[in-house]
Amino acid sequence: MTSASELLLQLQNRVEKNSVAPPQQVGEDSWQGVAFLVSNERLLVNMKEISEVIELPAITSIPGVQPWIAGLANIRGVALPLVDLGLFLGREPSKNQARCHVISLDRPDARFGLIVDQIVGMRQVSNEDLESIDEGVAFESYLSGKVKIAEELWQTFDTDQLIFSDKFRQVAAA
C-alpha cells in the first residue's frame, strides 16, 4: 500500500511534468491569451478582447438565421447572441461538446459570445515568438499567427478577421 507522503510526491511529480510555466509579467512585447479548442485545433485569443468566459447558458433559438448562430442567451439581464464557432468554421458543433464554454467578446462594434469546445487555460505569448500562419491551414483567414508554447503549437485567433468577414455578416439564412 502506498503511503500518503508517497502519493503526494507522485502528485507533485505529475504536476511538475504536465504544468505550463506560470504567466510572467505582461509587457509591451507579450500578452496573455485564453487557450481553447475547436475540434482538435489549439487556438488563442488575446485577453484584452474578452469580457468573460462562462459555462454554456440556456439558449433561445432564433428562427431564420444561419445554423452557426446558436441563439440568444440571457447573461445577467443582457441578451447575448451566441455563435457556435465549430459550426462557423466548418467543424462539428461546439455546443454539443461536454466541456464547451462561451467566450464573451464585448467590443465597441459588436457584443457576442463564441461557443468553443473547451477552455484549456491561459497562455503567455511573446510577440517575438509569433510566426506567420502556413498557407493552407484550416480556417487560415481567421488566424493571425502561430506560436509554440511548452512544445504545443497554438494558433492565434483574430476576432477582427471574424467580425469583418463577409460570412460572419451574413447572419440571415439563405
Closest of 153, 164, 168, 163 to residue 35, by C-alpha: 153
The Cα–Cα gap between 167 and 24 comes to 37
pLDDT of the residue at 22 = 44
Q: Examine the pLDDT at 134 and tell me if it is beyond 90.
A: no
Where are any strands of DSSP class E within 39-130?
41-46, 52-55, 69-75, 78-84, 101-106, 111-116, 118-126
40, three cell numbers: 482538435
Q: Regarding the domain delimited by 36-169, which CATH topology (the fold level of the hierarchy) does it fall under?
A: OB fold (Dihydrolipoamide Acetyltransferase, E2P) (2.40.50)
152, three cell numbers: 504545443
Provide, rounded to the nearest whole percent, the portion of the chain with pLDDT above 70: 85
Q: What pTM was estimated for this model as a whole? A: 0.82
pLDDT of the residue at 63 = 95
**pLDDT tens-digit map of 46-105:** 999 999 999 999 999 999 999 999 999 999 999 999 999 999 999 999 988 889 999 999
Domain definitions of the chain by residue range: 36-169
**Can you tell me which residue has the cell 491561459?**
122
Measuring CA to CA, how many Å separate 13 from each of 4, 7, 76, 151?
14, 10, 41, 19
pLDDT of the residue at 17 = 58
